[in-house]
Structure 1
Amino acid sequence: MFLALGSCWAGAAAGLAETGKAAGAPGQPSIPEVAVDVGHTLADPGAVSARGRVEFEFNRDLAGLLVTALQARGVSVRPVNFDGRIASLYDRPMVAAGADFFISIHHDSVQPELLENWEWEGRTQTYSDRHRGFSLFISRDSPDLDTSLRCASAIGARLRHMGFVPATHHANSLPGRERPYADEQNAVHFYDNLVVLYRTSLPAVLFEAGVLKHRDEELALRDPQRQASMADAVASGIAACLYVRKAAAAE
């Protein structure tokens, strides 16, 4: 899927660059806008890594790199919750209204029963080295499920192409917490009752970049070069998906 999307996106982007036509000109796709949401808040910072760093800080770092990577591909960006002060999950889709796509950036944990204790710099922390890897989530109640799935699959495919490993632990769903696959190969799951996915008017994806509780993966997730590579892969998947969509709408 990604190779076809990537080829079409490259052609659409090249056409815009070569002709110099304004966005939305006849025969040319308009520039897509992506709302990039930083998951969690300063007051509710999410999961705590194996070494004690809160998820919100990981989310904000990666989201900032994603903004830069999207802009490098000619995609307009609407930042959401970069200051960590949008407490209501219902407000995030409202801020994103009018964009073409919504992505919420997160970092993952594991089921509480899998956690173990260890000492790090004189403090007791929890960890689990059983699971690692990225995951993507969409809602079957999305107002545009087809685009949500297509873009999530494009992101997952590009990540795999760049050497990132899909997580598998969400496939072992517990009663009441089912996360069935929407696209197993690319680690896309259904998560129907996530507010930021089903209350938006846009196609929407929640991205879990990796498992913070895995001690080795936490170190990898802190690495600036790896962060930039992941942001580049996610941006490529989004841009490919959206430029194809825009090009089709312009025909």
Structure 2
Amino acid sequence: MAYKIMIDAGHGGRDPGAVYNGRQEKDDVLALALAVGQILEDSGLDVEYTRTTDIYESPGEKAREANNAGADFFVSIHRNSFPRPNEVSGVETLVYDRSGIKNEMAENVNRQLEKIGFRNLGVKERPNLAVLRRTQMPAILVEAGFINSDIDNQLFDDNFQAIAQGIADGILDTLGIKPSGTMGAAYTIQTGAFRNEDYARTMLDRLLSQNYPAFIAEGNGYYRVQVGNFDTLEEAHMMERRLRQSGYPTAIIAG
């Protein structure tokens, strides 16, 4: 039986969320929620949404909707804000408390988004938030960068699909599910995924200069920097440890 995931796009309707230079949080997160949900559906999960259009529901209503649907997990997607623009940037994921599978999922999501280039601000406890307090299933709230950070907005716009994939992969990793299309015997290590080819080639050149067997896998508008081709997961883990010691973010890719 497939896991049921309730995906929540924060705010909506009369509530724009955070606003910066005309950009509204509710729009960014709706697009991202739908993209994440599609990836999870393609990977075999049962996905429902609190909203798929620009409507408003209170956080309490969203929690009740998830409870009534019998969801196994609740994932709320937001963008952060700071009182002074361009002073803080990065991703963080919020949980009711730092225990159990929700904390593991939050850490996995943050780790995936860090690979794209976001600063990882960690997992934070927020027991006062209704969507974390009133949900009867493990729940996380992903803050996908600061909407009043030009750096984060550039990352968000240039790497939109990679961000959706990263959030989905963090969820799937936690559930022990391989993303759609990754079945296969061989493994590679991914150190970055970029829309900008120059960024990918900069990372590639650095890896090659350190004698790593790196290459770029291009597809779906992204340049994915990867290392090696390993027959066993043990060999892939050994290379992953070396890359981490060299300061690279890593993800093992199967198939």
TM-score (structure 2 length as normaliser): 0.64
Aligned length: 175
1:106 and 2:78 matched:
yes
* Correspondence for 1:164: 118
* Correspondence for 2:173: 240
Residues of 2 paired with 1:48 and 1:164: CA distance?
20
- What value does the CA root-mean-square deviation take over the aligned residues? 1.7
1:213 and 2:155 matched:
no
Match of 2:3 among 32, 35, 49: 32
Residues of 2 paired with 1:166 and 1:153: CA distance?
10
Residues of 1 paired with 2:153 and 2:110: CA distance?
20
Within 5 Å, give how 1:6-45 maps onto structure 2: 30-45=1-16
Contact 2:118/2:152, CA 8 A, preserved across alignment: no
Residues of 1 paired with 2:171 and 2:109: CA distance?
6
Residues of 2 paired with 1:86 and 1:60: CA distance?
12
Q: Of Structure 1 and Structure 2, which has the larger fraction of its residues in strand? A: 2
* Correspondence for 1:122: none
Letter paired with 2:127: D
* Correspondence for 2:129: 194
Question: Post-superposition shift, 1:70?
Answer: 1.1
Question: Post-superposition shift, 1:162?
Answer: 4.1
Residues of 2 paired with 1:138 and 1:129: CA distance?
25
Residues of 2 paired with 1:162 and 1:31: CA distance?
28
Unaligned runs of 5+ in 2: 178-255
Residues of 1 paired with 2:151 and 2:104: CA distance?
31
Secondary structure of the residue aligned to 1:90 is helix
With a CA cutoff of 8 Å and minimum separation of 6, indicate the structure with the bigger relative contact order.
Answer: 1
